[in-house]
Structure 1
Amino acid sequence: MRNHTAFHRTLLAAGFVAALAAVPFAQAGAQDAYAGSDSSQANQTVPGKVDDAWITTKVKSEFATTKEIPATNISVDTSDGRVRLTGTVANDMQKNRAIEVAHRVKGVKSVDATGLTVTASGESP
């Protein structure tokens, strides 16, 4: 009887392992189906969108914890690992610091700060 119960437990465990092993294949199939659908960003995969959102969040977080950067005056947008900064800063030092901090975030391929302007008065925005 003990061997019979042990056999059933082993069989049940093997069933669970097989079911759990199938999950990644189901996710891959669902992702392929999604990729085949018509969307505005068909070339970008779901993991890529997640990476971009993570990069944007991380850059904003780094700005918020860096004293020299007026984080509330800078907008961050990320696409394919390319960060675009827009907004206003008080001086070139703040602009350069923002670019430097954004570059240090893992996954950032480039930083475009052409939309980040320095206020004419030189005072803090």
Structure 2
Amino acid sequence: MKSIGYAEDADPLNAVFSALSDPTRRAILTRLAAGEATVNEIAEPFQMSQPAVSKHLKVLERAGLIERGVDRQHRPARLKAEPMAAASAWLEDFERFWTGSFDQLDDLLAELKPSEKGRDQT
């Protein structure tokens, strides 16, 4: 069995979920979905320093969720949504589980309703 810890992990799915676990990074991705932006533009709505935003961008870049270009002295960031496809596929397996569980619950409730009607009529 593979040991799980805080050491750097080579599994890209772990990197994606780790990057997505932070609300600031999710907000940054939402911003980048509208188009590429510089660190200054990304930092604008947040009450944090540009170096703090840069750290978040590095995490997103290591996870493969963004890429950074070079435009003279700016390094605009842009969204790379492909790594999220693996995360979405992983979550879809659980969606099938949840849907199946809800379907079983619906079936059970449907079975219980007729027996409740019989009791109410007495």
Per the TM superposition, whether the score is higher than 0.5 is no
Q: TM-score range by the shorter chain?
A: under 0.3
**TM-score (ref. length: structure 1):** 0.24
**TM-score (ref. length: structure 2):** 0.24
State the structure with bigger RCO (CA 8 A, min sep 6), 1 or 2.
2
* Larger fraction in strand: 1
* Larger fraction in helix: 2
Structure whose CA Rg is larger: 1
